[in-house]
Amino acid sequence: MKHTIPEQSAVVPELETRGMHLATGQLKTFFPILQKGVMVPATVGCTLKSLLCDQLAIPTDYVTDRITTIFVNNRPVDDLEGTIIQDGSRVTLSAAMPGLVGATMRRGGYYAALRQGISHIVERGAATSQRGTIRLKLFNLLLAEIGPLILAHGLILEQDELIELLELSPVRAARPAAGSGRVLLTVICNE
């Protein structure tokens, strides 16, 4: 099946789509790549909040209460509405972290001053909405909790990456032929 990323994607205009069903217990197969970072299709030019809540379908209160540490392009973020996601942005999501540095990295935290100089700076002005991709990483508690949402949304993988993943996977899905080109993989986790 061919899946087209609509409009003017600068990155991947057309992708082969593969679907996979996974028992929740098998989800951990995907933790290493979610932790290292995966390419995800997205409408970019939006706010970080819109990306998380509207596109990735993460509940708003979960974003507010649970995803307390966020990086965009290696910069800790304080303002979800003032952070604009661009094509190719690297977005990393984590739960609250221990220790002083954990507290320092926390979104809008009391110790944010301690990381002055690397914090994400709020961008003002209009952004153009267009299709593109982001690189998304999930850490720690979020892997199990919102990993299924990200997998259902779909990951863009190189054919080789997909083959490697399927080798490790307990699911006996049909292996694609090795080759170049990218695949959009959607994974549905069953209870």
Partner 1 sequence: MDKIARIDMGAAGGPKVTVGDLGEYAGLGGRAMTSLVVAAEVHPLAHPLGAENKLVISPGMLSGTTGSMTGRLSVGCKSPLTGTIKESNAGGQAAQVLARLGYAAVILEGKPVGDDLYKIIINKDGIQVIVDNSLKLMDNYPLVEKLRGEYGDKVAYMTIGSAGERKLLAASIACTDPELRPTRHCGRGGVGAVMGAKRVKAIIIDDAGMKMRPPKDPEKYRDANRKFVEGLRKHPVTGEGLPAYGTNVLTNVLNEAGGYPTYNFKDGQFPGSAKLSGEAQAQLEIDRGGTATHGCHRGCVIQCSGIYNDKDGHYLTKQPEYETVWSHGGHCGIDDLDTVAMLDFLDDNIGVDTIEMGVTIGVAMDAGVIEFGDKAGAIRLVEEVQQGTPLGRILGSGAAITGKVFGVERVPVVKDQALPAYDPRAVQGIGVTYATTTQGADHTAGYAIATNILKVGGDVDPLKTEGQIELSRNLQIATAAIDSTGMCLFIAFAIMDQPETFQALLDMLGSFHGITMTGDDVVALGKKVLSAERDFNTRAGFTKHHDRLPRFFYNEPVAPHNQTFMMKDEELDEVFNW
Range 30-59, binding partner 1 (CB under 8 A): 31-32, 35-36
Which segment (10-18, 61-69, 120-128, 180-188) binds partner 1 by CB under 8 A?
A: 61-69
Q: Is residue 130 involved in binding partner 1 (CB under 8 A)?
A: no
Identified binder of partner 1 from the candidate list 15, 41, 51, 76, rule CB under 8 A: 76
> Can you tell me the distance from the alpha carbon of 144 to that of 191, in angstroms, rounded to the nearest whole number?
13
Which residues neighbour 4 within 8 Å (Cβ) at sequence distance 6 or greater? 13, 14, 15
Q: What is the DSSP string of 136-159?
A: EEE-THHHHHHHHHHHHH-EEEEH
Identified binder of partner 1 from the candidate list 95, 149, 163, 173, rule CB under 8 A: 95
Which segment (104-112, 146-154, 163-171, 181-189) binds partner 1 by CB under 8 A?
A: 104-112
The site for partner 1, by CB under 8 A, has a size of 39
Give the bridge partners for 85, in sequence order.
Answer: 46
Least distance in Å: CB of 169 to partner 1? 15
* 8 A C-beta contact, residue 17 and residue 46: no
Which segment (5-13, 26-34, 47-55, 153-161) binds partner 1 by CB under 8 A?
A: 26-34
Q: Is residue 98 involved in binding partner 1 (CB under 8 A)?
A: yes
Helix and strand numbers (H, E) in the chain are 6, 11
Name the 3-class secondary structure at 102: helix
| 145 vs 158, beta carbon nearer partner 1 | 145
Least distance in Å: CB of 179 to partner 1? 26
Give the residue among 140, 150, 63, 47 at the shortest CA–CA distance from 97: 140
Q: Is residue 173 involved in binding partner 1 (CB under 8 A)?
A: no
Q: In a 10 Å sphere around its CB, with 0-12 CB exposed, 13-18 middle and 19+ buried, how is residue 167 labelled?
A: exposed
Residues near partner 1 (CB under 8 A): 28, 31-32, 35-36, 66, 68-69, 71, 74, 76, 92, 94-105, 109-118, 137, 139-141, 143
